[in-house]
Amino acid sequence: MSPLSHEVSDATIEALLSLSDDETSLVRAAVTREINGLDIDIPAFIHSRHLALSETHYQALEQILWERNHAHLMQIWREWIDGEEGSWQLEHAMSALSRFQNGARYRPALSMLLDDTADAFAAHGAAATCPELSRFLFEVLGYTVMPEMDANSGGMNLARVMEMRHGLPMALSCIFLLLGGRLNLKVSGCRWPGSSYARFSENDVLYMVDFHNNGAVVTAEELLSLQGPSRKAAEAAITLEMSPVMMVKRIVNELVMYYRREENPRNSIFMLDLLRMLDRKERLGALENAAP
């Protein structure tokens, strides 16, 4: 850490940030060293000081802060993998991933965004049901689905998706599940391959919330009736709940692909590393369970 990390003034930090995209390699190296030596939350500082940084500044800061953000996510990921299983897992993992994806850009913590949205739903006065929550997100708040042709890693960043009210189906499904937990709704993910559904039951009828179709609510039977010869396999998939870990794995696997498509090999490889860590933990768990 830089010896100046506890002495620099706000004005000095602002000056360092303004030099982050300097064309001179020696200046950039010095700025990188000093910024990484600061024991502060850089995105929060930028936000609190209302700094108007350019896109090139943000791109430069993304590179400067990458190692720090990488180390932070790795630490949280190890703790997450070693933690007890439970409903907390999805939010904890997605919060950590969002913070990494935000990079140098400030966004409120995912938990805060979820709390605010749950409070807004309660204030809206609708009954706390899955159909009403879907209606609130897509009709009242105006959430929209990112088309597959536009799919990118940002569409999987839950904090960004909640800020823009626009994201990929799997991200929207996660948000729905996390909000459902706050509202004490009995809702879960679904293992339907290649699609993003949430499942809930009402009056002994199984319903699906389709996040490819603006949160449309259909019965499982209506969905199955469209499957033809593959109905039996589809019915088996619908009856299997997607655990938080399974959902996180699917999302990280998608991020591997999106970062590769965006020609960001460093992030793509990092996401692969996170997947391998999780796979290793699952294999060890399987061996322990199989041991006599």
Dump pLDDT digits (tens) for 78-99. Answer: 999 988 888 789 999 999 999 9
Residue 77 inside a domain? The answer is: no
266: containing domain: 84-290
Express as a percent the part of the chain with pLDDT over 90: 73
- Backbone phi, psi, residue 10, to 5°: -60, -40
**How much is the pLDDT for 2?**
43
- Backbone phi, psi, residue 200, to 5°: -155, 160
Q: Tell me: do 160 and 54 sit in the same domain.
A: no
Q: Tell me: do 162 and 244 sit in the same domain.
A: yes
Residue 213 inside a domain? The answer is: yes
Residue 73 inside a domain? The answer is: no
User: Per-residue pLDDT for 160 more than 60?
Assistant: yes
Q: Tell me: do 148 and 40 sit in the same domain.
A: no
Residue 15 inside a domain? The answer is: yes
Q: Tell me: do 38 and 133 sit in the same domain.
A: no
Express as a percent the part of the chain with pLDDT over 70: 94
Tens digits of per-residue pLDDT, 179-199? 999 999 999 998 877 778 999
Q: Tell me: do 170 and 33 sit in the same domain.
A: no
Please state, as a whole number, how many other Cβ atoms lie within 10 Å of the Cβ of residue 30: 14
Q: Tell me: do 55 and 144 sit in the same domain.
A: no
Q: Give the residue, 190 or 262, on which the prediction is more confident.
A: 262
Residue 51 inside a domain? The answer is: yes
Q: Tell me: do 40 and 183 sit in the same domain.
A: no
Q: Tell me: do 36 and 177 sit in the same domain.
A: no
- Taking the C-alpha atoms of residue 292 and residue 280, their distance in angstroms, rounded to an integer, is 20
Residue 263 inside a domain? The answer is: yes
Tens digits of per-residue pLDDT, 94-105? 999 999 999 999
- 17 in the Ramachandran plot: left (φ > 0), alpha (ψ -120 to 50) or beta? alpha
Instruction: Name residues whose C-beta falls within 8 Å of residue 10's C-beta, 6 or more positions apart in sequence.
Output: 45, 49
**How much is the pLDDT for 292?**
58
Q: Tell me: do 133 and 27 sit in the same domain.
A: no
User: For 144-159, what is the mean pLDDT?
Assistant: 96
Instruction: Give the count of domains, the chain.
Output: 2
Q: Tell me: do 53 and 95 sit in the same domain.
A: no
Query: What's the chain's average pLDDT?
Result: 90
Tens digits of per-residue pLDDT, 50-59? 999 999 999 9
Q: Tell me: do 51 and 112 sit in the same domain.
A: no
Residue 79 inside a domain? The answer is: no
Q: Tell me: do 110 and 45 sit in the same domain.
A: no
